[in-house]
């Protein structure tokens, strides 16, 4: 049995005749950074709200750490830290005092833990500065610190990089990877696909409320059907490739050949070219960006 931290099974939500979420099923395993993607209106936010016990599904179930969110919410949800709305702060208070206020509401003693989470999100040196002086990126990191106060096993983030500049986005990537390396499972919904590609271990892509792909990021961006090859003489090598049934789609892109392999394996393509008098200097599986894959799977809809 896998060690699922979050388990969605047949999750469905309707609003009148419209199905916002339609039979969604997937699992998030312990210790991974899991990306949740889809065009605008695909059902991402509704799914997250059902997972957090904020919206009741019409069918299906959500389990956190093996407990049903709707039947055992008081036991399940304290193990989850979440950022699913724009964070609200007291701008006249310091970052540390904002955490103290939240800790008192949660019934958490805080103490050393508050300083620890501020250090974790790289705000230790600004802990006593008023939040009104913080940049947007700092406020996003403070919001994550708030979600980490109770040492959650699962951290759920809806668009944590929203509005951040490039430097802030990179900071967020490093923070999420660091949290996962420290043992926290991270579930993140985002439209910044380049960062999802570099941050997440696996992704679920939904469209019109349905799951269209669940895979390792590395598998999504690697197309084993084609290879990029560099040879001394691309033109005659292209003729040799196109003379084969499997090489009919071969082409030159820039200074490389792009082609299928006779068996789907790189070594057999290398052997064919070498035997044809064109031994490759470089040969690599063709890679795509996560954005290209996303647009292909969702029909190019808005993210």
Q: In the prediction, which pLDDT does 171 show?
A: 84
Q: pLDDT, tens digit, for every residue of 142-193? A: 999 999 998 899 999 998 887 778 888 888 888 899 999 989 999 999 888 9
| Residue 168, pLDDT score | 81
- Are residues 190 and 45 part of one domain? yes
* 205 contacts 294 by C-beta, under 8 angstroms: yes
* pLDDT confidence band for 300 (50 / 70 / 90): low
CA distance 25 to 135: 38
Q: Are residues 150 and 245 in the same domain?
A: no
Give how many domains the chain has, as a whole number: 2
Domain boundary pick from 188, 218, 248: 218
pLDDT, tens digit (0-9, with 9 covering 90-100), for 130-145: 999 998 888 989 999 9
Beta carbons within 8 Å of 285's beta carbon, 6+ residues apart:
222, 223, 224, 226, 227, 228, 266
Condensed to tens digits (0 to 9), the pLDDT of residues 247-263 reads: 998 999 999 999 999 98
Give the pLDDT score at 59.
96
- pLDDT, tens digit, 9 for 90 and up, residues 31-77: 999 999 999 999 999 999 999 999 999 999 999 999 999 999 889 89
In this structure, is residue 140 part of a structural domain? yes
Residues 49 and 149 in one domain: yes
Looking at the structure, do residues 125 and 183 belong to the same domain, yes or no?
Answer: yes
Query: Could you please report the per-residue DSSP string of 101-147?
Result: HHHHHHT---THHHHHHHHHTT-GGGTTSBGGG--HHHHHHHHHHHH
- Is 112 in contact with 103 (CB distance < 8 Å)? no
- 128 plus 229 within the same structural domain: no
The predicted pLDDT at position 110 comes to: 63
Q: For residue 302, is it within any domain?
A: no
pLDDT at res. 289: 85
Alpha carbon distance 20, 124 (integer Å): 41
Q: Which two tokens stand for residue 110?
A: 């805080």
Q: How confident is the model at residue 301 (pLDDT cuts 50, 70, 90)?
A: low
The answer to whether residue 96 scores a pLDDT higher than 90 is yes
Closest to 184 in 3D by CA, of 38, 5, 1: 5
Return the pLDDT at 172.
Answer: 85
Would you place residue 202 in the very low, low, confident or very high pLDDT band (cuts 50, 70, 90)?
A: very high
Which domain does 271 fall in, by range?
222-287
Q: Give the pLDDT band (50/70/90) at residue 109.
A: low
- The model's pTM is 0.81
- Mean pLDDT across the stretch 235-245? 94
Does residue 299 lie in a domain region? no
Note whether 207 and 266 are same-domain residues: no
Half-sphere exposure of 156 (CA within 13 A, CB side): 21
Residues 180, 282: one domain?
A: no
pLDDT at 162: 76
Picking from 190, 218, 246, the residue at the C-terminal end of a domain is 218
Average pLDDT over the chain reads 90
Same domain, 186 and 101: yes
End-to-end alpha carbon distance in the chain:
34
What does the DSSP assignment read for 145-187?
A: HHHTTT--SEEEEESTTTT--HHHHHHHHHHHHHHHHTT-EEE
Judge if 243 and 208 occupy the same domain: no
From CA 46, how far away is CA 123, in angstroms rounded?
31
Residue pair 202/36 in contact by the 8 Å Cβ criterion: no
What band does 1 get if pLDDT is binned at 50, 70 and 90? Answer: very low
* Residue-wise DSSP of 58-86: SEEEEEETTEETTTSHHHHGGGEEEE-S-
Question: So what's the pLDDT on residue 106?
Answer: 79
Residue-wise pLDDT for 208-220, tens only, equals 999 999 999 998 8
Neighbours of 303 (CB within 10 A): 16
pLDDT tens column, 75-87: 989 899 998 877 7
């Amino acid at each position: 049995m896998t060690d699922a931290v979050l388990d969605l099974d047949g999750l469905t939500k309707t609003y009148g005749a419209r199905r916002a979420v339609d039979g969604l099923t997937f699992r998030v395993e312990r210790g991974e950074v899991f990306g949740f993607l889809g065009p605008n209106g695909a059902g991402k936010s509704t799914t997250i709200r059902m997972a957090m016990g904020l919206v009741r599904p019409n069918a299906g179930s959500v389990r956190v750490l093996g407990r049903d969110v709707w039947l055992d919410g008081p036991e399940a949800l304290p193990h989850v830290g979440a950022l699913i709305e724009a964070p609200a702060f007291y701008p006249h208070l310091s970052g540390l005092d904002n955490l103290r206020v939240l800790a008192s509401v949660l019934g958490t003693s805080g103490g050393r833990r508050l300083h620890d989470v501020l250090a974790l999100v790289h705000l230790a040196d600004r802990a006593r500065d008023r939040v009104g002086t913080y940049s947007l990126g700092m406020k996003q990191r403070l919001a994550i610190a708030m979600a980490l106060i109770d040492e959650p096993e699962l951290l759920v983030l809806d668009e944590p990089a929203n509005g951040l500049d490039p430097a802030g986005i990179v900071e967020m990537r490093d923070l999420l990877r660091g949290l996962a390396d420290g043992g926290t499972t991270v579930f993140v919904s985002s439209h910044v696909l380049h960062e999802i590609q570099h941050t997440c271990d696996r992704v679920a892509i939904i469209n019109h409320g349905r799951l269209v792909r669940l895979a390792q990021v590395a598998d999504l961006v690697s197309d084993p059907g084609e290879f990029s090859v560099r040879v001394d003489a691309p033109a005659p090598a292209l003729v040799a490739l196109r003379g084969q049934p499997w090489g009919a789609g071969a082409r030159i892109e820039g200074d490389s050949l792009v082609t299928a392999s006779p068996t789907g394996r790189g070594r057999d393509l290398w052997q064919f070219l070498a035997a044809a008098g064109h031994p490759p200097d470089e040969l690599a599986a063709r890679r795509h960006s996560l954005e290209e894959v996303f647009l292909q799977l969702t029909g190019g809809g808005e993210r």
